[in-house]
């Protein structure tokens, strides 16, 4: 069984995907980490994440980089959004993602274009979203644990800009697949969102 989980930044899709993987006993891939790895490599090399050549040069990284805590920082998220607009970068990382999705037994994969591009034939698809304000509050709360000077307004502005960039890019834009179930987590607790996600996937399983 392949479960595709898509949605914008800080919508809760990663938390939900991880919980689904545990519930159904499937491996999980956070594709956002792949783009964060590329972005971090570009930055550390002194390159420009907005330059397609610099970004493409950073796609061949060692998988050990995926364990670097820096990849889950706000900065890494911003860099990931910038390098992900390049079609060549997306194409280079797509093969790895498809191979993960096609492994025997299935997988849970979350990202921006899983249900539309990477695994359009997924058995279950979720599009997880929340209001920009709620997503900014979540990110701000997380950032405060690392940085006491984290600014809510700056985080909100960044989320709005990332939404625009992700939705308007020409290569695999962020869109809800026609057959994806919508899960709005704006007013849900984590446990409630996970329960609803499991219900939606179970319903899809029952239709197979």
Write the CATH number for 90: 3.40.50.300
Is 82 part of any domain?
yes
User: Structural domain of residue 44, as residue ranges?
Assistant: 2-198
Task: Find out whether 20 and 108 touch, Cβ atoms under 8 Å.
Answer: yes
Q: Are 90 and 78 in contact (CB under 8 A)?
A: no
The arrangement of strands across the sheet holding 107-111 comes to 28-30, 107-111, 2-6, 124-129, 181-184
Residues whose CB falls within 8 Å of the CB of residue 43, separated by 6 or more in sequence, listed in order: 49, 75, 79
CA distance readout (Å), 79 to 37, 70, 123, 158 = 9, 11, 31, 11
> Does residue 204 sit within a domain?
no
Q: What is the pLDDT along the chain (208 residues), one digit of tens a residue?
A: 999 999 998 899 999 999 999 999 999 999 999 999 999 999 999 999 999 999 999 999 998 999 999 998 888 988 998 998 899 999 999 988 999 999 999 999 999 899 999 999 999 999 999 999 999 999 999 889 888 888 999 999 999 998 998 888 887 888 999 999 999 999 999 999 999 999 999 999 877 6
pLDDT at residue 165, as a whole number: 87
Instruction: Note whether residue 203 is domain-resident.
Output: no
pLDDT value for 190: 93
Q: What angle in degrees, to the nearest 10, is found between the helix axes of 190-207 and 13-24? A: 50
Q: pTM of the entire structure? A: 0.87
Question: Residue 207 domain-assigned?
Answer: no
Residue 188 in domain: yes
Supply the pLDDT for residue 208.
Answer: 63
Based on the structure, what is the number of domains in the chain? Answer: 1
For residue 205, being part of any structural domain is answered with no
Radius of gyration in angstroms for the set of CA atoms belonging to the chain, rounded to a whole number: 16
């Amino acid at each position: 069984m392949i479960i595709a989980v898509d949605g914008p930044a800080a919508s809760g899709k990663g938390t939900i995907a991880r919980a689904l993987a545990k519930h159904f006993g499937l491996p999980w891939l956070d594709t956002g980490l792949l783009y964060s790895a590329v972005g971090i490599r570009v930055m550390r090399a002194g390159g420009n994440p907005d330059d397609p050549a610099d970004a493409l040069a950073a796609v061949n990284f060692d998988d050990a980089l995926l364990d670097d805590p820096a990849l889950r920082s706000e900065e890494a998220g911003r860099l990931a959004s910038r390098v992900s607009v390049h079609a060549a970068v997306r194409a280079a990382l797509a093969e790895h993602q498809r191979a993960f999705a096609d492994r025997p037994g299935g997988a849970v994969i979350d990202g921006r274009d899983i249900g539309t591009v990477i695994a359009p034939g997924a058995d279950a698809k979720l599009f997880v979203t929340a209001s920009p304000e709620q997503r900014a509050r979540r990110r701000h709360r997380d950032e405060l644990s690392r940085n006491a000077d984290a600014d809510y307004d700056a985080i909100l502005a960044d989320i709005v800009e990332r939404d625009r960039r992700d939705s308007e890019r020409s290569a695999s834009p962020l869109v809800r697949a026609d057959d994806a179930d919508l899960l709005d987590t704006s007013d849900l607790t984590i446990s409630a969102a996970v329960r609803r996600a499991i219900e939606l996937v179970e319903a899809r399983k029952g239709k197979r």
